[in-house]
């Protein structure tokens, strides 16, 4: 699956199911795993705003639940003025599974911006920090 197809999956298969009654800001994500499978995510808002889940993290949870922990690329799409950036929380969650993941940010207007996760979050907290702890 190429980047354009991944963006289309994020729009037509994920974003359309977003639950965003409060912000109206619907986001779709499509996560391409190393084995070729694609997992989708949409943002899921909550009346307790702080419990809202981003589309990207929903896609990661779907992939991990199915046994996939190696990611090639993530496409995220919303109807904003610029390609949809990935928030800091989602960058950290994605970093758990690989700094080389390609991030494809897009908007409905067709603008696209691409980056490696490690360039979006160069000093991610990793499990190397935990394993260095003296006990």
Q: Which residues here bind Zn ion, judged by CB under 5 A? A: 54, 87, 90
Give the C-alpha separation, 5 to 23, whole Å.
27
Exposed/middle/buried for residue 48 (C-beta within 10 Å: 0-12, 13-18, 19+): exposed
Bridge partners for 1 per DSSP: none
Nearest Cα neighbor of 61 from 82, 83, 85, 90 is 90
Which residues line the annotated binding site? 43-49, 54, 87, 90
Q: What are phi and psi of 129, to 5 degrees?
A: -65, -40
Nearest CB to Zn ion, comparing residues 19 and 35: 19
- Start-to-end CA distance of the chain, whole Å, equals 45
Q: Which residues are annotated as a binding site for substrate?
A: 43-49
Nearest CB to Zn ion, comparing residues 57 and 68: 57
Catalytic residue set: 56
Q: How far is the CB of 132 from Zn ion (least distance, A)?
A: 28
C-beta of 55: minimal distance to Zn ion in Å?
A: 8
| Shortest distance in whole angstroms from residue 91 CB to Zn ion | 8
| For Zn ion, the closer CB: 35 or 113 | 113
């Amino acid at each position: 699956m190429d980047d354009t197809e991944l963006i289309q999956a994020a729009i037509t298969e994920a974003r359309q199911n977003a639950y965003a009654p409060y912000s109206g800001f619907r986001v779709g994500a499509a996560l391409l795993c190393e084995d070729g499978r694609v997992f989708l995510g949409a943002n899921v808002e909550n009346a307790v705003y702080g419990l809202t889940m981003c589309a990207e993290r929903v896609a990661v949870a779907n992939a991990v639940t199915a046994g996939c922990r190696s990611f090639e690329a993530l496409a995220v799409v919303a109807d904003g003025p610029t390609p949809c950036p990935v928030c800091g929380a989602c960058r950290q969650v994605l970093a758990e599974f690989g700094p080389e993941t390609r991030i494809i940010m897009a908007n409905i207007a067709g603008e696209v911006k691409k980056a490696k996760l490690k360039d979006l979050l160069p000093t991610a907290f990793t499990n190397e920090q935990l394993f260095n702890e003296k006990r």
